[in-house]
Amino acid sequence: MQNSDPFDELLKRHRPMVWRMCWISAHGNYERCRDLVQEVSIALWRHFGQLRPDPTLPAERAWGRW
Identify the residue with better confidence: 19 or 45.
19
Is the pLDDT at 4 greater than 70, yes or no? yes
Instruction: Tell me how far apart the alpha carbons of residues 34 and 45 are, in angstroms, rounded to a whole number.
Output: 17
pLDDT given at position 1: 47
CB 18 within 8 A of CB 11: yes
Q: What is the pLDDT of residues 27-46, one digit of tens each?
A: 999 999 999 999 988 988 88
Q: What is the pTM of this model?
A: 0.68
Reported residue count of the chain is 66
Is the pLDDT at 60 greater than 60, yes or no? no
CA distances for 2 relative to 5, 46, 49, angstroms: 9, 23, 22
